[in-house]
Structures are given as C-alpha cells and as structure tokens.
C-alpha cells in the first residue's frame, strides 16, 4: 500500500513530514513504534518534524483504518500498520521485545472472556507483558 497516495486519494494534504512518516511506516512492515521511536527515526530525515506531527499523522492514519495502536501498562502506546498479522501483542519487561500472539491463542482467550463476562468481544487495544525466554 502506498500510504502517501492513500492520503492524497482521501483528500488529505501531504507535507514533507507526513511523507517521511509514511515512508518509514511502509518500509517497516508490521514493526511496532511508539510515537517517540518513530519521531527519532523521522528526525534523521528532517529536523523540521516535531512530535505533534507524529501524533497527528498517527491519528489520521488510524481514522483511515491503516494503522492501529495498542496500550501498554505504564508505557507508551504502540502503533503499527494493520495487516493480516495478529494484533494482540506481548512485550518483555526486561528487554522490551514485542511479539505478536497467534490468532489461535487470541481466539481462545477471547472465547474465555466472552464466556465469563457474557460480552461479545469486538476488539482490544492492550499489550500483555511478561519476561521473555532470553531474559528469564
């Protein structure tokens, strides 16, 4: 997907800053970013980019259903391109590594939550945390 073209096709102005942000996201695939980590990468391309531009671009891309975000306890949110990959994550408290949780596992957990609560699960935007195999 060409994010810049997608923005233009939906009537949004594409600034140099937005173009840089979109290019980084596209090249990264399903990599997970905090606003600050993307800001640091974008600043390597242009010193004119500010953190507010990152957040506004994230918000715009989320409105267009191109990216999603997840919440981590006591930490920054994670933003990533939507795709066929699972969107449930687990983050290591030791090294910060972030991994996708399989759709099979997510389905089982959602079924248990639905059974216990009586809710129909629509989505979640949080990240499980723990200690990975390397950090144990």
DSSP per-residue string spanning 29-42: TT--B-HHHHHHHH
Residues 10 and 77 in one domain: yes
Band the pLDDT of 84: cuts 50, 70, 90. Answer: low
Of 42 and 78, more confident: 42
Residues 56 and 8 in one domain: yes
**Structural domain of 125:** 89-130
pLDDT in tens, 8-56: 999 999 999 999 999 999 999 888 899 999 999 999 999 999 999 999 9
pLDDT beyond 80 at 105: yes
Q: What is the mean pLDDT of residues 100-129?
A: 89
- DSSP, collapsed to helix, strand or coil, labels residue 100 as strand
DSSP code of residue 1: -
Residue 45: give its domain's CATH number: 1.10.10.10
Could you tell me the pTM of the whole model?
0.78
Residues 75 and 106 in one domain: no
Residue 103: give its domain's CATH number: 3.30.1490
Residues 76 and 100 in one domain: no
Q: Please state, as a whole number, how many other Cβ atoms lie within 10 Å of the Cβ of residue 87.
A: 18
Mean pLDDT, rounded, of the chain:
90
CA 36 to CA 40: how far, in whole Å?
Answer: 6
Residues 40 and 68 in one domain: yes
Residues 19 and 52 in one domain: yes
Phi, psi of 96 (to 5 degrees): 85, 0
Split into its structural domains, the chain has a count of 2
135 in any annotated domain? no
Residues 21 and 63 in one domain: yes
Residues 94 and 76 in one domain: no
CA 115 to chain centre: 28
CA 15 to CA 2: how far, in whole Å?
Answer: 15
93 in any annotated domain? yes
Which tokens is 92 given?
A: 């290591």
CA 35 to CA 25: how far, in whole Å?
Answer: 12
pLDDT of residue 24: 96
């Amino acid at each position: 997907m060409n994010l810049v073209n997608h923005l233009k096709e939906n009537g949004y102005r594409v600034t140099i800053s937005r173009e840089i942000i979109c290019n980084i996201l596209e090249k990264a695939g399903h990599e997970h970013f905090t606003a600050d980590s993307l800001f640091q990468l974008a600043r390597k391309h242009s010193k004119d980019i500010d953190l507010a531009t990152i957040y506004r671009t994230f918000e715009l891309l989320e409105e267009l259903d191109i990216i999603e975000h997840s919440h981590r306890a006591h930490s920054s949110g994670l933003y990533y391109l939507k795709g066929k990959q699972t969107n449930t994550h687990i983050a290591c408290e030791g090294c910060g590594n972030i991994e996708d949780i399989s759709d099979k596992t997510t389905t089982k957990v959602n079924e248990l939550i639905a059974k216990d609560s009586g809710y129909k699960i629509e989505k979640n935007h949080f990240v499980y945390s723990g200690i990975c195999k390397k950090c144990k």
